[in-house]
Amino acid sequence: MKISVVMPVHNEEAYLPYSLPSLKRIEHYFCEVIFVLDNCTDKSKTIIQKHFPEATIYEKQEHKWNFYAAEAFQYGFDRASGDIIWALAADLIFDPAIPNIIKNVFADEKIGTVCFRYLNYDLFNHWNMVKGSYDNVYKTIMQYFRREARHTGVYAFRRQMMLEIGGLADIVSEYDEFCRRVTKNGWKLVYVPSTHLLHLRPGLTAKKQYMQGVARFYLPSYNLSKTLLHSFVHLKPYLITGYLHAKHYGVELAGSLR
């Protein structure tokens, strides 16, 4: 089983000095490490080359899609050769147990995607660190009562499956929509609750909350009452604002209002 790593990067010089050393420790598990530099104007490339001089680096300057993050991920996925592709973000510190988890999980040929638990740990904002700690405790407790597969945004997938279902979609919340198609097409999606990745830029800023709310309006699994409850429980007031703006103005216009 060959594992490829794909990491899109857009001006991540503040986070790469933390994420790349943790990835370097497990580099030997992968057949290739691919970085997609998406309109980077900072020192991201220099930092990557320092830690991964042999990595494959693509520099993407133009876009055909409306949602650039989805396009950058798909661009990297299309160029990966591994049987399994692990989709990474530059603002994570990686759990060294994950490569072996991937090998064990994908021994079941019916598994299409596996999602990993992460913990919030904001490096630069004390208040967000406090809110992130609260969110960590809440999610840890809830996973004992709700054991369904979760869509965490940190995931690995079988390349054959991605080809079969047609890749990511050019929409505001491409990952959640992708997960729905995984199961719709007969593949299993599993969640691993024991991993200890650290998310250094949790979705707790006003902008992140707002865009999560816009995305929730697009997704059929969410409605106003569920979004309002989530906004209250997770201390995310801008989440419901984004949802209501998307409902009133439309998804694309609401996205431009953030």
The DSSP annotation for 44-105 comes to: HHHHHHHH-TTSEEEEE---SSSSHHHHHHHHHHHH--SSEEEE--TTEE--TTHHHHHHHH
pLDDT surpassing 90 at residue 222: no
pLDDT bin (cut points 50, 70, 90) of residue 39 is very high
> Model pTM?
0.81
- Which tens digit of pLDDT belongs to each residue from 75-127? 999 999 999 999 999 999 999 999 999 999 999 999 999 999 988 888 887 77
Contact 218, 173 (CB under 8 A): yes
pLDDT value of position 133: 73
pLDDT bin (cut points 50, 70, 90) of residue 46 is very high
Backbone angles phi, psi at 61, to 5 degrees: -110, -25
In whole angstroms, give the CA distance from residue 120 to residue 132: 5
Paired tokens of 195? 């991993």
pLDDT surpassing 60 at residue 252: no
In whole angstroms, give the CA distance from residue 45 to residue 42: 8
The CATH number that domain 3-199 falls under is 3.90.550.10
The mean pLDDT value for 234-243 works out to 75
pLDDT surpassing 60 at residue 194: yes
- Residue identified by tokens 């986070």 is 15
In whole angstroms, give the CA distance from residue 230 to residue 243: 12
The SS3 assignment for 128 reads helix
pLDDT surpassing 80 at residue 128: no
